[in-house]
Every structure is written in structure tokens, then in C-alpha cells.
A and B are shown apart, each in its own frame.
Chain A
Amino acid sequence: MATNTPSVFLLMINGQIEGANFPEYDELYCKYCFVYGHDWAPTSGLEEGISQITSKGRNSPHTLVWNFPLEITFKSTNPFGWPQIVVSVYGPDTFGNDVVRGYGATHIPITPGQHTRTIPMFVPESTSRLQKFTSWLLGRRPEFTDPKVVALGEGREVTRVRSQGYVSLSFNIVSKDMKRLGYDTTPTETAQTSSHTHAAGIGPGDQPYSL
């Protein structure tokens, strides 16, 4: 193990899919998976997961809480293809068929620290009214062939989607050796250290103006 010059950097993600806000639906569960580039590989943790079914609480009639933990560590050589988390939410429709309620994706935050993300969700639309009706009737709504589609830009122009609710996620990011490899994702780090020294006296106002 070359300590001074590492060849990979590590990105550790702890967090959870906290919950969702789907005003009209109830009893939803969600799936998540990660989409990442060629230069990335998960070293530990679960790459995919499926949560429990949750119902809306009496006190909070709008929020569905999963608190579904995410824990994964990636190693990579190249920030290109930075991992994205794809969340897809499913739940029963009026006839009890399990249908998709939303797809959403977001990049894992690049800076270490705690982050919360609220992802707007969407579902593909039926191609025609008739399709819509039959899909509603039969409980087979249009779905993406692969949820990972929502993390990719290619081919999206042929789809039409409808937005639908939000999912909130929280992340705690720890990265290792990023800086050693020349990827500085914490621009304020130097500033923080300097301000830390002055913190007692002057306060946050006197951060040196740095480019």
C-alpha cells in the first residue's frame, strides 16, 4: 500500500432515505440503486436495496417515513461517472396492483459532510389516453425498462413524464485521498482552517477573499 501516493480514492456514503412526500398515495415502498461510471466500484455495502412498506401517519398526513439506511463505499480513480443514487417508489393503486409511483435520481454530494437532498420524482406517461386508461384499469402503468435510465441522459428525449411527489435523502459523506489525487472538493477547507485560528477574535466576517 503506497501511503504517500494512493492510486484510488474512496468515497463513503452513509445516509438514509428518510421519507417521501406523495400527497395522494399511501403504502409505498422504495428501491434504490447506484449508477456509476466505469472507473468506480463499490468496495463494501449494499448497492441496491428495497425498503419496507410505509403508510402515512396520523400525525403527519403527508409524509411517508422509511428511514432506510444507505451505506456504501466506493473506490474510484476518476471522478468522471460520479455515483448517482436512483430511487424508485412503488405502491399499490386503487385496485391493489403494485405500480410505480416515481423515479428520481441525484448525484451523491461531492463534498464531505452532511447533506440532505430532496429529489422530485416522476413517472413516465402513457403514450395515449387509451393507453392511460387501460394501464389504469389493468394496473400496469408504463415503467422505465430500467430505473437506471433516470440517471442517464441518453434517450430521454423520447419519453414524457409526469412529476409526482418528493423523496428526501440524507447523506453523510466521507472521502479519502481525493485531495491527494488532486481533486479538491472542499474549496473552503483552507479558509476554514485560517478562520479557525481567528475564530475567537474576529468572527466569520474576515475570511480572506480567496479565488
Chain B
Amino acid sequence: MASSSDLREKLRKKRRALQHSLQVKDDVDADTQALVPTQKEAGQTHIEVLTAGEEEPGDALRRNLKAQRQSRRRKLEQAPAGDASVMEAHYKTMVEVTAVQQISQKDEKAEELAVISSPTHSQRGDLPPRSRATPTPSSSHSESSTMRQRMRDKLRAARSKAESLLQQEASLEVPGSRLQSLRDRQPLTRFDQETDPDLKAGGDVNPSPLNPRVKFREAVRRVRMESKPETGLPTAEEAYNFFTFNFDPEHDKEAEKIQKGRTRREAEYEEGEEEEGEEEEGEEEEITEVDREPDGEDAERDDSAPLVREEEELFIVDKSAHDFLVVKRAEYMGYQQRLQSENDVLFTPSFLSVPASSKVPENMQPRYLEEEGLYVGERPPISLTNQNILENRILKQEQGRKWFGDDGRIMALPDPIKESSTRPPLFHMEDDVDPALQAIFRKALKSKHASQYIAVGGEMNGDYQLDVDVSGLIFSHHALFSREHVLGARLAQLYDQQLSRQHRNLTEHLNTKLNGLRNAVRNMLEMHAGHGLTPIMQQRICEYKQELRNTRRLRDAEQDKDRSLLKSIIKVWKEIKALRDFQRFTNTPYKLYLRREDVERASDERRYEAEIQAEVDELQGEMEEDYQRKLTEYKRQQEEWKTWRRRQKAKKKKTKKKKTQSQDDADEDDDEDDLSDGVAELGPSKPDPPEEPDMEGVEEQVREKASRIRRKPGEPILVPELTASGPITSNEQCPRGEVARREDVTKRSLFTKVLYNDKEVSRTDNRSLNSDFRVHFGQIFNLKIVNWPESIKLQVFEVLGSSTTLLADVFVPVPDSSILTGSALSEELEFSSNLRVMFDHEAVGSDVPFSFEADGSNRQTLLTSGKLSCCVSWAVGEDNIPLAPPTTLPKAMYSGLKQLDAIACIGASSLNDMKKLGEWATESRLDPNDPNNSAIMQLLKVASSGVVTAPEYFRLEQLQEEFNFVKEENLEQSRRFRLLRLRNQEVADFRNYKFVPALEREVTDKVFQEYERRLREGVIVDTKDHLDAHRALVAKYLQKIRESIFNRFLVAKHNFILSDLVQEEEVPTIGILGLNLFKLAEPKRPLKPRRKERKKVTAQNLSDGDIRLLLNVIRAYNIPVRKPYANKPSVASKSSRSFTETFTAGQPSQRAIQGSDWILNQVQVRPFVEVSFQRTVLQTTTADGPNPCWNEDLQLPFSAPNGDYSTASLQSVKDEVFINIFDEFYYELGGEGEDRGREVHTRLEKHWLGSVKIPFSTIYFQSRIDGTFKVDTPQVLLGYSKERSLSSDGGYDTMRSLNEGAFITLFITIEPQLVPGEPIREKFESQESERLLQVSEAFERDAATRYPDRPCLTTVIDINGKTVFITRYIRPLKPPQELLDAFPNNPQEATELIARYVSLIPSLPDSVSFTGVCDLWSTCDQFLALLAGDEEEHAVLLCNYFLSLGMKAWLIIGTAIPEGPTAYVLTFEQNRYLIWNPSSGQCYGQYDTFCPLQTVGCLVSADNVWFNTQVYTSPPRICFDTTKAKLWKPFFSRAIPNPGLSSVQPEELAYRRTDQAAAAALQDRMEKILKDKIMEWRPRHPTRWNRYCTSTLRQFLPKLELSGGRDVADEHRLELQTLLGDYRISGFPLHLPFSEVRPIVEAVYSTGVHNVETSNVEFALAVRLKCR
């Protein structure tokens, strides 16, 4: 900082000058005024600090002042460096000034600019308001304003003065003045709000957006100041200042320094401070003074600067603690201040152009080299604004002027961009570039979408264009026609007809033809007059004559038409004339002239006569011929008749002879005669001779006809000529109605829309309707078409006002491709509209009857109609190429492409029938030489030759063959492809086949063997796996059904729903939320915990080990207990137990006694539960006693077959969970050898007591099974006795007795919970009536919505997949006679037996066999044939049997454990309801607590279905009386009566007797298999079989069977015991329905009999197969 010292010098000088001026101007108002607020402000600051600091006031004040001072000084020092932040409005003016000065340094010419610019700035501020807003608390407004005025004047004066001064002394002044301004900053920061506006007013250069705010603030302040002046308390303003004050932390350091010598000079300094404050107040004046007295100022500044420095040194002496802590106001930088400071730092170059004078060196005129004749290059183009900005920026820099040239412009090189390209052109060396890479220019092509739309054939690939020329339309009738118009139109029409006829001149043509034919005939006859005619000639003549006749007839008709046309023309014309006369005005310009052509009478007559003569001759000839023919015919017939007659006569003679021979047969003969007469009558009648032709009559006829249809000879030829030149009566002369009509006509206008393929492509202009009802459009539309033209339609619209009505659609035929624009003729297409229009004026309207007659008779109705003349043709391109699509091009006909389709060749695609075409062609005698017919001839030739036939098939992928890389046969042969294909088809054997070998030869035939065998032997029964041929058949049949259903299921499996793919949280409903809230209040560990619902998992992303079966074994009741080996049986004969006893419990007391006998010396049973599933065995701990409680969780792993965890696969898992109850039996062995007596060895044995088995599928579908199950205990348990309820007394006896047997409480579920597959919602076909189906659907839906948890079934699916109404299954069916015979006197026994019989039919859940969860119901005969079915079939059969016994029986559709939704049977007898479990044969009373049936959904009988609408569903709590409409909702009611559905069940069941021998064989086989199995399961121990025991067992088994397994245990045991003496026996009979061997083996295994490991164990096994 070289300049800082002299700056300081200047500062000092300036201050001195200020002080001086202050003294001088002490009496000036303005100064003191300015001073007052500042002094007060200082005081306030003091107070403020006091309150804030709570310190020694003096100290604080001192410090405060010091700090302020310090900062001020520091800023002063910093200012020259240019990095100080400037915060004052004042500075702005200074900037201006400095700018001026800087410029003036360089050039005095800048002066003017400065002069101009600064005043403008100063005046921009709004002075009067500002002065008003200025706070002058202690002085009046007027004073302040005058002061300001003065200051402003001064400023202005100073400025003007400065300009002149600047010229003299430049450089020195600038920094000084700037410093000055910088010095002013600090006080302004301190008293910011007070002084700021003042300064602004003085400087007046603040472009202040904040002015209003400041004003407001000041106004507030003023008010406050006035209200409580100088209270000594901090005012709001002070507070504001306190918070907004800029406590500059940077000053702290210097404050410290200064503090050193502070204490000493405190008082003195305070004074100085005051003084300085005063000095600062004077700053406002300073600006002016700076300019006025620069010299003095300099001197003063020199003084002040060193003073400050000295102080610094002095302050270093000492410091107090307080000196380090500087409490200052927060420094606030106002927005305006910030703006200003930014203005100081930032420079925004102006975009105003810089005066040339500031750019050239001083005292120099810009010199323009161009003017001097030197070459100056063209400067690069720059926008003027940018240039100005650049110049301003450069000028701001030091030495900025060197950038400017002599001419005052920025130096610039001439535009560097050359006009022409200087880059060397790229020369392609043709040889260098690879020809393949050579780019060839092709003209851009428009993409063609043609092939889809218009078949592009041949080389024609151009655009297609249709020209639609809508030339105009003529109404033949219009609603606005007057009567005259109607007639006129008719006349015109007739005239047109006449003209066209005239043009064609058919009559003349036919005449000539006739003459020609006549000549030909005549010639022919003449030529061959001499010799006889050859047959060919005769044939030809005949043909000619035929032709002649036809032609003549045609000619006559034509002539007739001509004549009548002429007549009607004249008639209409006459009518018009009459009408015109009648209405006395003319509406139409039509005028008919009849031109009369006179003819020469004689020649005319002669021709006429000749004509007639010729005709007569011909006719006569024809008649003659005809006559001759008829005559010959007659003769022939005559001849025939005669011969016949002769024969008859001969016959008669014979009969007469006969008559003479025998009189007896007279009657007969008569008869015969009669008969023969009758025959004669039937024979050919005598033909009448043909009449002689009436030759004279012919001539008369001809003449008469001629006079009718022909011009009379000599009569002039009348040629009508219609002109439209007649005058039309003007409007004035017409009646009002007519005028209204005419006006209406003028209002109408018409336009036409052109629709191409039903899309509007264009429309014509609106053309007004003329009085002659002709509209001329004359517009041609060129349609560039892409789509094949299907239809071209023109729509005629009528416009009346703003409404448009469609009059008619006119279909224009798509033109043949040969019709081209130049040559096409305009066609007139008729149209009509059936719009009914009525008018109240003269117009006749449309579709309204009107009459020409005055009396209104002869009414007629006309519809709006007309002719549209238009022309549609293909446009012609530039080179005369028709722009028509090629298919219809005639020349394409013979092209090779088109020969394929002969029909397409002629462009007549609608003609399909070749034969018809051919017939037509021969019939119409097409001229083969006519080029017009060549196409058809060609076609016919082709078609008849049969070389080319139209393809009869349609091929989608014509090119498919080209893509077949291998032949179909090869593909078939390839084993690998076959494998891949089969896998892709998801054929069961190959569904998840891994690693299809890469090479053909690696695919062994073995892979397919199984599959092929299965295919081949689909029908052949294989008995290898099955013991019974019948079973095998059934199994096959089931397999087939399964497959078909599985295929159906496969289709459904590929339909996904969202939840299969996306896992999404359900939206919590209010209910759930409430429940959750409620849960918060729940105890954490409730005393009675309940199971929670778990999240379901779709079986998709599962793998082995993920799924476990959770089994909670809770407790069991009534486990059989061990029985002491009593030698004496306490036998009571049970053989006579009656059926009633089972229900009424006759035994308990007896049993109780019996029980109490041995309870004392009872051996405890130690049961435990063993669960086996998929060969995994887990067991619980051992409990004690017959009513054990385990409450143990067992987890069994589950693995799906083939690791396939899809829903389908899981559903078909057939595994069962076996829950076996065993008795743990300690068996003590004596010690061995010397240890005997000291050691005791115990052996654990487990004895099977009973089991429960639950199929996995049930668990899967139920997702949880929770309940008490009856343990399937064998009827006889050797060594055990069933514990009877000891505490049974009175009331419960009934119940308990029914519940004999053990029970176990279980909870089973799968972890994680699997989602069972959705049932396939397929609509099956049905033979039920539609109405019934609808009603049943509604019934089920209603039931489902009202009681979602109650199953309701009305329709079921039979085995053929058809929907059948459920009641059709119920029909009384007779059970096998032997069952009935068994207990002839005891119906109860019989029912029980029947139930047992039914339960013995093997059960096979549908869900296992039919994976799609279709519940199929088979009829009873099917059921018995298949010998497999699930609960429904059992129930139906049982129900039917019961019905046949005359019992009241219903089917219960409900839910039970563990089956889930199932069917039970309900019977009603002896005033109580019994519920039968059909699959077990058990029956339960309604109030049985252990009844597995949990929910009763509906009851089904043979004629109705009742849905349970009661509150409860469990059997004990509901009433089964279906007559109560409140409780049971019937399906068939009065509204829907039962239509009398016939049953699907057969009339009678046929029972086959089983082959006893086969059964015996099977029995032996099974026994052997089981023995083998047991030995197999005991690999480490020898298995000895006790033959004796086995034979005993064999004897027992039939007994067991006979007794129904009841109460033979004791006898049994006794018997065995006697037989086997000292053996300890444990064992049991198993009683199983037989379907296959596997389940039986499984059941035996699960009992664990084979696990006995006693060394000397002996086994005995017997199988008894009972067959019915």
C-alpha cells in the first residue's frame, strides 16, 4: 500500500478542514440539526449497552466508542485497497464523481458526460417525498426541507464547479474524495437509520426499492420520538438498532490493541470522540466542500491520519479483561446498503455507446483511416450492444484506452472468415475406395405401405389416383316441385327416354336383322331348291326361323314401346298446357315441339304392305309348319290308339269266349270286363285332329297389330323436341303460394360429400338450388389412394339455413382399371330419398299425396329423387400411365403371376361358380371373336381344360416351407426334438425333465419306453401292480379321468391373477384397524392363548425343507389300559347284545363293576404318540394313565414329490399322516450271568394301541385341523382292555356309551401356511334347464353372501363333467339282499350293517385324484363299479339305502373334522335324529359332543334342498325340522316348484358276486406279501412265524367279521391264551377296506409291530379277505 500514507495525509487534511468549517458554520441550522439526532443516538447507544452488558457503564461506553472508532479507522485504512465494504448511500454520488474524475484524467472531453449523468441520477430520486419522510425529530419540517434545498443547490453548484476544477487538478483529488466518502461510512453504520435518509436526501442518488419501507419505519419512529422524547429508556428504535447493528467482529483485534493505552486517556478520549462525532455529522456538507475547497481538505487530512496512528501505538500499553470482550451491536446490513456495496464491488458495464472522445487520447480527434484512403478490412460483425458493453468494460480498466484505435473504435482485425472455402476439396480416388463401400446416391424413396393395402404386382409401383368428377345433379322430383314441375320432370324424363331410344334405334336395328334373316332363309331355300336339304341345312333353317320369330317379337315390342312413349309424351305435354292454363302462370320453361316429317305416301304404303305381307307369310309358314307337326303327332297318336284299340277288341273277344265256356264265372267275367273297360279308359284317349290354321285370320291379326303399334302408312313421322326456352312467369304475377315456394327454393342449397371406403375425403361447394332443380357442381376430386377401393359413395346434402339434411347416398361403382380419366363417360346415377317433407305453399312436397285434379282425385305420391351425374375414373399419369392399381389391369391378366387365379384374371372376383359362368357363356352365345369377350373365353377355356384351377385353400404363411430347415419327417424322427416337444407340452412324464441331451444319439430310446408303453397300453389292463383285475381296471379308469382333468387344469394354471405375482398388503379396513387397536389393550400373555391367523404363502418359491408339518398333540382320552394276565376270564356272554343296547347303554353298570374289580390291581398304561409322515417318525414323551396330556409340538418336514411345490403338485400329494398311540412297555430282563440279581435290564417295548390317519391333502385344504378325533383302535387289543368311564352316572351314560373308544385332541397345520389352489371356475355344460341353473346359482350366491361359512350345494359335477342338480342323486336303492337277510327281524342291526357295508367301500378323496379340485359326484352304480369315491359318494349311497328301507333320510352338506366340507347322512327314527358318518359307518346322536360334523350347511332330499338359515350351525344346536320355513330355506318353493327332476341313479343296483376263489387267492397273496414285508422291515433280526398261532388267528378272523368286531375281545384273548399257553401276547386285528396293497402295507408298518426286538419273539399273521 504505497498510497496509504499519503491517503492518510489527505484524510487528515480533510478532517481538519471539516473541523474548521464546522467552527465557521456553527450557527448554521442545518449542521446543528444534523448533529442533534446523532448525539442523541450516541446516548441511546450508551443506555443500550448498559442494559445489555450489565457491566460498568463507563467502561462499556468507553469500549463501545472505542470499538466504533477503531472499526472506522480500520475501514479507512482498508478503503484505498478497495476491499472495504461500502454501506452508505452517500457513496453513490462519489462513484459518479470519481467516474467523472477518472475520465477527466484521461480526457477533458468526458466532462460533459459526467455533468449530464450525475444530475440525472440525483434527480431520479423523488425529492419531495423523501424530504417529507426524513426524520428530523428535533427540528421542524420546513427547516429540514430548506436545508435540503440548500444542500441540493450546493451540490449542484459543486458539481458544475467540479467540472471546471477537474480540468486543472485531476489525479490527486480522486482518491481523496473517495476516501472521504469511505470515512463517512462508519458513522452511517452506527446511526444507520437516522443518518441514512438524511444522506440520501443530501446525496439523492439512491435508486431505492426499499424507500417505502424506510419511510414507514421512519414514520413510526418519528411518532414514537414525539410521544416520549428522551425518556432515557431504550425505545423500539433502539431495540431495533440493537439487533440490527453491525457488530463488526473484525474490529476486535484492533480494539485490543487500542485498549492498551486506553485507561489513561479515557476522559480525554471521550471528548475527542464527541468531537469526531460532530465531525461526522458534518459530512453531509463535506461533499460540497470537498469540491469547493480541495486544497484545504488535503492539508487537514494529513493531520488526522497520523493522529490515528499515534493512538494505535498508545493503546498498546495496558489492557483489562473487559477490553478483550467487546460487546457490540449486531451488524446489520440493510438491503439497500448491500445493494450499494454490491454496486461498489460489482461493475455492470452500461450498454450505452461510449462517446468517442473518451476512447481516443486526449486532445485528439478520431482519425478515420478509411477517409484517408487507406484500406481497412471489414470488421467482423458484432452487435452494437455487445460492442458497447465491451468498450465500457475496457474503459473501466487501467490503460483501457490502448484497446482503441485511432478512430475511436476497438481495434479489430478484419473479418477472419473467408468468403470462399479454403479447405482443399476431397478428391476421391476411385481405385482407393472399396467398391463395396462406395456410396451411391439414390433419390429418397417414399416408403410404400402398399403391399398391405393394394397388392402390388408387376412393375407398377406408382401412386394410384382416382378422379371423381361430380358434375351435377338433376332432381326428378323434389319436395319443392310445384305441380307443373312434376309434370315437367315427367315430360323431361319421357323425352330423355325417347332420345335415348332414338339414339339406340333398336327398332331399326331389329328390322335390319329381321330382313337379313329373311334373306338368309330365302337364299338358303333358293340355293337348295332343287335338291333335298341336308339335315344340317334343315337344322340351320330351323334355327333361323326360330331366330326370326324371336326377333320379330322383339321388334314388335320395341315398336310398341316407341309408339306408347310418343303417346305419353304428348299426353303429358297436354297436361302441362292444361295446368298452365288453369293456374295462369308458367313455372317451367319446357316447350314441346312436334316435328312432322312428311313421307311419300305411295312408297310408304308399299313398304308397309310388303312388311305385312312378309310377316303374314312367315306366320302362315310357321302355322303351316306347326300344323304339320301337330298333324304328324296326331297321326302317330291315332296310330297308337288304333293298335291299342285293336288289342282291346281282341281281348274282349277272348273274354267272350271264356264267357261261353263257363257260365259259373259269369260274375267274375263281368268284373273282368269292367276291369278291362277301366283299363281301356286309362289307355290313350282318341286324339283330336288338329285344327286347320286360320290363314285369313292371320292377316287380320297382323294388320290389327300393325295399326296398333306402327305408324299408319302415309302418316307423317312425329319427332318430339323438347326445349327449355319458354318464358317463366315472373314472381309478381304469381299467386302468393307460388311466390313462397320460389322463395323457399332460393333458400336451399346443395352440396355433395365424397366418401371413399366410407371415409369422407372431400366435399363440393355449396350450390344453391335453381328454379329448374338442377345443380351444377362441376368439381373434380383427385383421390390419391392407398387402400384398395371398396366403395365410393357420394352423399347429397341439402342445406337450409344452418341445418343440413342428408338427402341420399349415391354409390358409385369402383371403376374398372381400364376406365381412365380422359375417356370415361359421365354416368347418371339415380338416387332417391324417402324423407317426408310437407309444405304449406304450392310445393307438392315429398312422400305426400297430391293430386292434379281439382277435385283431389287420382292422388299420387312422389318421393324426392334425382340423378347425380358423376364420373369416377382412374387418373392418367404423366407418361400416360394409368394410375390404376395393377390387379385389375387387363394386361396383367396374362402375366405369370395372375395365371394362378383364373378368376382374378378377369377381375371378376365375385364370380365364383365356374359352371354357371360357362353355362351363361354358352347360353348367351358370346361371340368368341369379340375382343370384349376374350377374357371370359380365355377363362372358360382354362377352366374347362382344368389345367389351372382356382386355389381352393387359403394359406397364411406361404413361405413357411422355405423356413423349414429340416423336413417334417426328420423332425418327427428326431428323438431329441420329440423329447423337447413333449417337455414343452408338459406331458406328465417329461414335465420337469432336466438336461435334454445335446446330441441326438445321446437320447436313448429308454426315455420314451415308459411313455410309449403307457400310450400303447392305455386300454390294456396290467395286473402286475394290482392284486385284483377289477381294481386295476378302476385304477386305469381313474387315471384317465385324472389325466383329462389335469389337462384342463393345465390350461387354467397358466392364467395368473395379480396375487400370484405381486405380494401386496391388504388395505386395512376399519374393522381390522379397530381390532388392532383392541389388541393393544390385550394382555401380552393371555391365560388362554389363541391361535393366530398366519400369512399365506403361495406355493411358488418354496423348496425342500421350507415346509413343515406342525403337529400339536394335546391330550387323549380313554386309552385302553393294560390288562393283567388273568387266567380266569370274567366273561359275560356278549353275543346277544342288541342294537338298542348300544344306544341305551345297557352295560355301563356291569362294566363299571367289572372295571372296579381290576382297577385296584390295574397296571398303568404309559401311552405316547408317534407321528409318522413320509417315513419321518417323531414321538412325544411318555405320559401316564389312560387320559394322558402331552401338549407337545412336533415338526415334521415335508417334501413334495419331485421337488415340485406348485399348487397342482401339492394337491396331488397322497401321503397320510399317521398318528399312532403306543404303550411304552417296560419289560424287565434279568441280568445276565453273574450280574443276575444285581442288575436289572429293562427292555422297552411299544405296543400299538390305535391310530388316527389324516391325509395330507386334507391338511392342505383345511390349512389347519383342530379338534378331537376318535382313535381308530382295533376291536381286539390283546393284552389291553378299554377303560370304561368309571365315573359314569345317569345323565351322561347315553353319551359316554356312544363314545366308547379312545379320543385324541390334535392340532395340525402346515408351516408356512400354503394357499390351496383356487378351484377352477369353469362353466360346465349341463342338461339342466337354463332357468334351474340360474335359480340355483342365485340360491348358492345368496347363501354364500349371507352365510359365507356354510357350504351350500345345489348343483354338482358328475363324472362326465356335466352339471347335475343335486337332488337327482337321491333315490331309494336297494342294498344287497344278503345284508337285509342278515337281520330280517332287526331293522336297527340291518341299518348298522348297511352303514358298515358302505363304509367298507374304499375312500379316495377327489382332490387327490382330481387335482383341479373339481368335486366329482359319481352315481351309485359308478361308485360301486369304481369301488372308490369320497364322502359324497358314500353318503349318497348310504342315504339311498336308508331310503329304500323306508327310513327318513337326508343328505347333510356340511363341514366336519378332519374332512372339511363333506357330506353326512341324517336319519330320523324313533323321534330322534341320527347323524351317520358314511365313510366310517359310525352313527351319532344329534346331541353327541364327539360328532365330527361341525357345520350343517344344507339338507338334501330326493325332491328338495334346504339351506340352513338358523343362527347356529352345529348339529346339537339346530333344529332339523325342515318344514319350518324360518329355519330352513327351501330351494323349491311355491315360487319355483319342483319340475319333477328325474334321478340320475339307476333303477336298481346290480351286485356282482365276487369270485370267491379269486378272493381266496388274493388273500393268500396278501398274507405272503405282508409277511415278506415284515421280514424286510426287520433286517437285523430273524423273524419267526408261529404257524399255530397263525392258524388260530385265521379261525378267529371270520368270527370277528361276523360279530362286526364287537365284544369278542375277551373270548378272543381267552381262546388264544388257551392255545398258546405261556406266551405273552400283544397284537390286534386290523380292519381295512381293500383297494390296493400299498395302503395296507403302510398301515401295518405304521403299527410298528415289526419293531419288537425281543430275541425270541415269534410272529403270527393272518389275512382274511371278506368279499361281497
Binding site for B on A (CB under 8 A): 5-9, 38-39, 41, 76-78, 80, 124, 126-128, 130-131, 134-135, 138, 140, 142-146, 148-149, 154-159, 181, 205-206, 209
Contact = CB atoms under 8 A, between A and B. Distances in A.
A6 B1100 CA distance: 35
Given A145-B1062, A145-B1100, A205 B437 contact: yes
A181 B983 CA distance: 21
Contacts of A80: 980
Interface string B995-1006: 111110010000
Contact of A144 (B992, B998, B1062): B1062
Contact of A128 (B434, B1002, B1060, B1067): B1067
A155 B1063 contact: no
21 contacts: A7-B999, A39-B995, A39-B996, A78-B980, A78-B996, A127-B1064, A130-B1067, A135-B1065, A140-B1065, A143-B1062, A144-B1062, A145-B1101, A146-B1100, A146-B1101, A154-B1054, A155-B1056, A155-B1060, A157-B1056, A158-B1057, A159-B1058, A205-B437
A144 B1063 contact: yes
Contacts of B997: 7, 77
B1004 to A, nearest CB: 13
Interface string B1565-1589: 0000000000000000000000000
B996 A158 contact: no
Interface of B: 434, 436-437, 980, 983, 992-999, 1002, 1054, 1056-1058, 1060-1065, 1067-1068, 1098, 1100-1101
A126 B998 contact: no
A73 B525 CA distance: 106
Contacts of A135: 1064-1065
B1208 to A, nearest CB: 15
A149 B1098 CA distance: 13
Contact of A142 (B434, B436, B996, B1063): B1063
Contacts of A143: 1062-1064
A12 B467 CA distance: 67
Contacts of B1068: 134
A145 B1063 contact: yes
Contact of A131 (B1002, B1054, B1064): B1064
A39 B994 contact: yes
A154 B1100 CA distance: 14
Identify whether the interface residues of B are mostly helix, strand, loop, or mixed. loop
Q: Which of B997, B1067, B1098 has the most CB of A within 10 A?
A: B1067
A88 to B, nearest CB: 13
A127 B1057 CA distance: 12
Contacts of B980: 78, 80
A160 B1061 CA distance: 11
B434 A77 contact: no
Contact of A156 (B995, B996, B1061): B1061
A158 B1101 contact: no
A38 B994 contact: yes
A58 to B, nearest CB: 31
Contact of B1098 (A8, A134, A145): A145
Given A127-B1064, A142-B1063, A155-B1061, 12 more contacts: A38-B983, A38-B995, A126-B1064, A134-B1065, A143-B1062, A144-B1061, A145-B1098, A146-B1101, A154-B1056, A158-B1057, A158-B1058, A206-B434
A205 B435 CA distance: 10
B1077 to A, nearest CB: 15
Contacts of A7: 997-999, 1002
B982 to A, nearest CB: 12
Given A127-B1058, A144-B1063, A9 B998 contact: yes
Given A145-B1100, A209-B436, A124 B999 contact: no
Given A9-B998, A39-B994, A80-B980, A159 B434 contact: no
B1404 to A, nearest CB: 32
Contacts of A159: 1058, 1061-1062
A67 B1315 CA distance: 39
Contacts of B1101: 145-146, 148
A103 to B, nearest CB: 11
Contacts of A5: 999
A131 B1066 CA distance: 7
Q: Which of A124, A126, A145, A146 has the most CB of B within 10 A?
A: A145
Nearest to B994: A38
Given A158-B1056, A181-B999, A145 B1065 contact: no
A91 B173 CA distance: 70
A38 B996 contact: yes
A206 B437 CA distance: 9
Nearest to B1057: A158
Nearest to B993: A38
A130 B1468 CA distance: 54
A207 to B, nearest CB: 9
A130 B1066 CA distance: 10
Nearest to B1055: A155
Contacts of B992: 38
Contacts of B1100: 145-146
A203 B1061 CA distance: 53
Contacts of B1054: 154-155
A33 B1063 CA distance: 19
Contact of A145 (B437, B996, B1060, B1067): B1060
A41 B995 contact: yes
A5 B1098 CA distance: 44
B249 to A, nearest CB: 31
A41 B1061 CA distance: 25
Nearest to B1101: A146
A14 B1098 CA distance: 34
Nearest to B992: A38
Contact of A138 (B994, B995, B1065): B1065
Contacts of B1060: 145, 155, 158
B1064 A205 contact: no
A205 B434 contact: yes
B166 to A, nearest CB: 55
Q: Which of B1056, B1061, B1063, B1098 has the most CB of A within 10 A?
A: B1061
A39 B983 CA distance: 11
Lowest 7 CB-CB distances: which A-B pairs, in order?
A155-B1056, A77-B998, A142-B1064, A146-B1101, A140-B1065, A124-B1062, A158-B1058
A9 B1002 CA distance: 14
Nearest to B999: A7
A124 B1058 CA distance: 10
A206 B434 CA distance: 7
Contacts of B983: 38
A138 B1065 CA distance: 9
